Amino acid sequence: MKRLLAPLLAVTAAWSGMGIAGETLATESAFISMPWLEPAGTISTTDDQVGLDRALGLERDAGLAIGFSIAPEWMYGWDLRSSFTTLSFDRRIDAFNDFTLLGVDVDAGSSSVTSSWQARQLDVFAVMPYEGLHFGTIYELGLGARLLDSKFDLRETGSQASAQTGSARLLDYRPIAHFGVRQPLFQGGQLQFQASGYPVSGNSMLDSSLSLILDDPESDFSLSIGYRYINYEYDNEHNVAYDVEASGFAIGLLFDLGAVQWPVKADDDADGVRNARDRCPDSAAGASVDGFGCEPDQDQDGVPNETDACPTTAPGVAVDETGCMLDSDADGVGDGRDQCPDTPAGEPVEANGCSFDEDGDGVTDAIDECPATPPGVVVDAKGCGADSDADGVADGFDQCPDTLEGLPVNAEGCAIDAAPVADCGVGGLDCAGVGDAVLLPTVQFATGRAVLTEGARETLDQVALTLQRRPDLAVEVQGHTDSVGAADDNQRLSEMRAQSVVDYLISVGVSAGRMSPVGYGDTEPMASNETASGRAQNRRVVLVVTDA
């Protein structure tokens, strides 16, 4: 039997091929088996060699084997297996030949011999399953250790006045190698071969089996039926040599431990990380997780990378369910940076989340009707400065702040009858000749905008009256900007501002043919762009007389 095993295993492995398998091939089970074995072989001393089955008459008897196979996480894909087998053979016969064994003299004519052999075997080993390249075959290779406790007892009566007894005990611990093959045969049935031992001539041990395993897919139990062969060979062990074996039929029952939810192995969210280690025990089904059972969260904002729309949020910033910084006023500036968290909806804001206020008067540009108020001027809710003489021109622009109440004034706040410039209309337009430039000081704009304020429209109403009174005048309406922003954008903005003025004058009755809108962008500043007040002056409209 031993001589057949090595070539059988070599030929099988070479024919099928082997490939390393993943953890899915690991087995977790417990088994109990009853081997019904027949002893054979010999035990000998310097006196005689005696056959177990012939001279001693030992016969087939039942034994017991139990064991388990588990795949703990720390074994990294290896199975950890252990098994314990106990065998016991007893027989009493009348001797039919003479021999001396274990110090007992046996006489063929008068001796009655009672003999027994007890063997206990404990195996512990680690096994790595491999997947074959053909027909779903699975191979097993492993290493471990075996503890063997084997004892022979002999008692003779009849040949002498008193009974003779002798015994020999073998207690041995050896490393072992393991090889196994599992071959599916049909649905719910597979053939399994296993062999383990210490293959050194003269001091060998071998335990092998060939079994048919019948598995019911709806049950955790499987039935094993097969053949088992055990051999122990030791030379000169306390002047006793052993070459004994036991072989025969074995039947067993296996229970699948993989279906048992051990507390230490429980994984409630089925993410592959056991509860004891899982810091996120409620991970969504199918989500990829790290070694602690949590979905990766690069910026550690509490929103997993898979659903985080803003995966690089700064540490400590409060985020919404999408992983982006909260923005309570929806102005595009997150609460963590927003210095004005209550900005009205739709109002454009600066990088700090506050509305634009170019003239710094505390009234945002969106509602500021006087966006170029000089610094320090006290303004009302509309962003316009106080008007001490109630002439309709704010103090910051009023060149005649003490005009008597009720007198008509020009754009500079001076009474028309009192100021020479008033006789020539707004900015002196009524007295201007060809080539003269007329500045409209109250026609100014907020940064980036081309919308006329109420004050600008009042000034343009006076311009319209002058143009209607002087039908011979034709003007070029020039739009200018400050230097904030790109030059191309400023050019377009200046053209829009000039066009806004032309459109308004047309709406109040001025012929379109007498006006030509032209934009100059930021190319012709009239004040420094380094200050807010200078930039406010540069955002202007100028009328240049082209015909008179």
Domain limits at 78? 2-98+114-151+170-263
The DSSP secondary-structure symbol of 545 reads E
**396 neighbors 413 (Cβ within 8 angstroms):** no
From the first residue on, what is the mean pLDDT of each consecutive set of 10 residues in the chain (548 residues)? 39 36 61 95 84 84 94 82 96 89 88 94 94 80 96 92 91 94 89 93 89 87 96 79 93 82 63 72 76 72 75 73 71 68 70 68 70 69 72 71 69 60 71 86 73 84 88 91 88 91 91 92 89 80 88
Residue position matching structure tokens 């295993």? 9
Is residue 257 situated within a structural domain?
yes
What predicted TM-score, i.e. pTM, was given to this entire model? 0.49
Looking at residue 401, its pLDDT comes to: 72
Paired residues of 210 in beta bridges: 193, 227
Has residue 86 been placed in a domain? yes
Question: Is 370 a domain residue?
Answer: no
For 11, counting Cβ atoms within 10 Å of its Cβ (0-12 exposed, 13-18 middle, 19+ buried), the class is exposed
Distance CA 92, CA 250 (A): 25
Of the residues 263, 282, 315, the one at which a domain ends: 263
> Residue 139: what pLDDT?
92
In a domain, 357, yes or no: no
List, in order, residues 6 or more apart from 497 with CB less than 8 Å away. Answer: 445, 450, 479, 480, 481, 519, 539, 541
Question: Residue 436 is which amino acid?
Answer: D
CATH number (domain holding residue 121): 2.40.128.100
Burial state string for 456-490 with b = 16 or more CB within 10 A and e = fewer than 16: bbebbebbbbbbeebeebbbbbbbbbbbbeeeeeb
What is the spatial order of strands in the sheet that 474-479 belongs to?
437-444, 540-547, 474-479, 515-519
CATH of the domain at 499: 3.30.1330.60
Which residue, 248, 263, 278, sits at the end of a domain? 263
- Domain-ending residue, one of 263, 294, 320: 263
How many whole angstroms separate alpha carbon 443 and alpha carbon 436? 18
Query: Minimal CA–CA distance to 384: which of 483, 456, 484, 450?
Result: 456
CA torsion 31-37-43-48 (nearest 10°) is: 170
Total domains, the chain? 2
Within a domain: residue 450?
A: yes
What pLDDT is attached to residue 353? 66
Q: 109-122: string of b/e by CB count within 10 Å (b at 16+)? A: eebebbbbbbbbbb
Question: Which letter, b or e, does each residue of 185-224 get, where b requires 16 or more Cβ atoms within 10 Å of its Cβ?
Answer: eeeeebebbbbbbbeeeebbbbbbbebebebeeeeeebeb
In a domain, 375, yes or no: no
Asked if residue 82 lies in contact with residue 66, where contact means CB atoms within 8 angstroms, the answer is: no
Domain assignment present for residue 296? The answer is no
**Residue 419 within a domain:** no
Non-local CB neighbours of 260 within 8 Å, separated by 6+ positions: none
What phi and psi values does residue 209 have, to the nearest 5 degrees? -155, 150
- Cβ–Cβ < 8 Å for 126, 86: no
